[in-house]
Amino acid sequence: MGFRKDFMWGGATAANQCEGGIFEGGRGLANVDVCPAGKDRNAVITGHMKMLEMDGEHRYPAAEAVDMYHHFKEDIALFGEMGFKTYRMSIAWTRIFPNGDEEEPNEEGLRFYDEVFAECKKYGIEPLVTISHFDCPIYLIKKWGGWRSRRMIDCYLRLCEVLFTRYKDAVTYWLTFNEINMILHAPFMGAGIYFEEDEEEEKIKYQAAHHELVASALAVRMAHEINPENKVGCMFAAGSAYPYSCRPEDVWEALVVDQENYFFADVQARGYYPSYAKARLKKNGVFPEMEPGDEEILRKYPVDFISFSYYNSRCIAAPGGDQEEAEGNLFKSAKNPYLKFSQWGWPIDPLGLRITLNEVYDRYQKPMFIVENGLGAVDTVDEHGEISDDYRIDYLRDHIKAMRDAVEEDGVDLMGYTSWAPIDLISAGSGEMKKRYGFIYVDKQEDGTGTLERRRKKSFYWYKKVIESNGEEL
Ligand code: P53
């Protein structure tokens, strides 16, 4: 049996983490551009330190990233060489609308993605496009405070309209928002929100979330109107929450964490606010303001498929226990004593992917797509110029096996798998370059130096075989 014949193997990137060229082609500045590397990054991305332009003191790794803006032909050719069936990428909103509220789109930005899609086509690669991968124009943040304002919906839909029309013949797979649940954990990076002192953060976050959920549903409607062939998915950061122990309090806490996480996909896939969310948000005084018609919009335009990122499971303990905290991730989690950890302290849990796939499929009964999964690690180039990233191969092999079990033995409906990321790029969480994910090494170092030369790692040849054998040869 195995994976379906048309299984969509590939890799995933985000514009702000790989393109660079942020001052080229008439592009405007976005939230993701002004997230600095270094110790202030966390405060900025979580909305606790206001940064709306670049200053002279910080380093901004998105500015050049790995310069895919100038290397995309070479990079997509390498994806083609690995046999990619699909390439998940995102559009930089501010290449299309530099401020976000212009009447007319920026032709130079549109032309750039014309070329990217033409390149994909050359190699028979089907693009899977994230409309907003954490992008929000700075101009709109200054004007309205990002997604806390309802007016963002129109700007976002204007972007959608331009993309769905212009790329009608090139793109049929779309994701509305990357990791939409990240709004709760990194609201500046996720939705252009920073907080003034004494603001009610939860209330603002759920109001912004509501705006994104309505925008997402309206984007689904528009995508289907413009091209009935279009398939639109939701995307959330997944990873089941395990109770730290069978103590009922731990089990309860894990359930609540899962619900908080599934809330977004629950709305996008089933079309309504689940009762636990209604009750809890109201009780906490953070239920969002809705306009008449919102509920109908959510109900009428659910997504066609479910996509998620999976890096690890989470381990949840009720307050008052003596468990150790896990480090290195925006998601709070206890340290799972049964798992090994990556160099960045992220748990490694392939079986957790099978568990998550089962949970998500049970919950929604819609086709699923794993659109991110991978290992961030330090890579070294040896004296022969080779990069032997066996640790990455091990990680991916184990996860692909778990995903195969979910398909073969549990019957989940899986459309495809795009690893994060096929090429080294800037880390979203840490802003580091040395946290590498790629099959393709980029000579760009932590201090910004390097020739930007591309080099195939050992995992490159391994993944090529995985695709060739449709996941049989691992
Ligand atoms: P990095 C954590 C923190 C920030 C973004 O993460 C995240 C996560 C993981 O859930 O989400 C995705 O680069 C995101 C990508 C990102 C990838 O995880 O911090 O969609 O943009 O690069 C990996 O190692």
CA of 309 to the centre of ligand 1 (A): 9
How many of the other CB atoms lie within 10 Å of CB of 287?
18
Nearest one of 233, 214, 216 to 172, comparing CA atoms: 233
Mean pLDDT value of segment 446-473: 97
Mean pLDDT value of segment 428-452: 97
Residues 87, 90, 95: CA angle, nearest 5 degrees: 135
CA of 140 to the centre of ligand 1 (A): 24
- pLDDT for residue 324: 74
Contact 192, 251 (CB under 8 A): no
Q: Which ligand 1 atom sits closest to the C-alpha of 178? A: 20
Is the minimum distance from the CB of 428 to ligand 1 under 6 angstroms?
yes
Alpha carbon nearest to ligand 1 atom 15, residue: 428
Q: Is the pLDDT of residue 450 over 90?
A: yes
Is the minimum distance from the CB of 429 to ligand 1 under 6 angstroms?
yes
- At 90-140, the pLDDT tens digits run 999 999 999 999 999 999 999 999 999 999 999 999 999 999 999 999 999
| Buried residues in 229-267 as b, exposed as e (16+ CB within 10 A) | ebbbbbbbbbbbbbbbeeeeebbebbeebbeebbbbbbb
372 carries an active-site annotation? yes
C-alpha 276: how far from its chain's center?
25
Residues 94, 96, 101: CA angle, nearest 5 degrees: 70
Q: Is the pLDDT of residue 424 over 70?
A: yes
Is the minimum distance from the CB of 435 to ligand 1 under 6 angstroms?
yes
Alpha carbon nearest to ligand 1 atom 22, residue: 428
Among residues 19, 179, 212, 372, which one is catalytic? 372
Is the minimum distance from the CB of 376 to ligand 1 under 6 angstroms?
yes
**235 backbone dihedrals φ, ψ, rounded to 5°:** -150, 125
What long-range pairs does 148-154 form, CB within 8 A, spacing at least 24? Answer: 148/191, 148/193, 148/204, 148/207, 148/208, 148/211, 149/211, 150/211, 150/291, 152/211, 152/215, 153/211, 153/214, 153/215, 153/218
Nearest one of 39, 71, 60, 111 to 448, comparing CA atoms: 60
- At 285-340, the pLDDT tens digits run 999 999 999 999 999 999 999 999 999 999 999 987 777 776 666 677 899 999 99
- pLDDT for residue 328: 61
Mean pLDDT value of segment 53-57: 96
**205 backbone dihedrals φ, ψ, rounded to 5°:** -65, -45
CA of 279 to the centre of ligand 1 (A): 30
Measured CA to CA, the distance from residue 14 to residue 427 in angstroms comes to: 10
Measured CA to CA, the distance from residue 213 to residue 191 in angstroms comes to: 12
Q: How would you class 187 by CB atoms within 10 Å of its CB: exposed for 0-12, middle for 13-18, buried for 19 or more?
A: buried
Is the minimum distance from the CB of 179 to ligand 1 under 6 angstroms?
yes
- pLDDT for residue 333: 83
Measured CA to CA, the distance from residue 18 to residue 109 in angstroms comes to: 16
Measured CA to CA, the distance from residue 423 to residue 66 in angstroms comes to: 9
Is the minimum distance from the CB of 309 to ligand 1 under 6 angstroms?
yes
Contact 46, 186 (CB under 8 A): yes
Measured CA to CA, the distance from residue 113 to residue 93 in angstroms comes to: 11
| Residue whose token pair is 């629950």 | 266
Rounded alpha-carbon distances, angstroms, from residue 413 to 221, 347, 416: 24, 26, 9
Q: What domains does the chain contain, in order, with CATH numbers?
A: 8-239+301-312+348-468 (3.20.20.80)
Chain mean pLDDT for the chain: 97
Q: Is the pLDDT of residue 1 over 90?
A: no
- pLDDT for residue 466: 98
ipTM of the complex, rounded to two decimals = 0.96
Q: Which ligand 1 atom sits closest to the C-alpha of 239? A: 10
Q: pTM to 2 decimals?
A: 0.97
Q: Is the pLDDT of residue 11 over 90?
A: yes
Strand 8-12 relative to strand 347-348: parallel, antiparallel, unpaired? Answer: unpaired
Mean pLDDT value of segment 46-64: 97
- pLDDT for residue 329: 64
pLDDT band at 47 (very low <50, low <70, confident <90, very high): very high
CA of 201 to the centre of ligand 1 (A): 22
- At 255-296, the pLDDT tens digits run 999 999 999 999 999 999 999 999 999 999 999 999 999 999
Measured CA to CA, the distance from residue 448 to residue 443 in angstroms comes to: 10
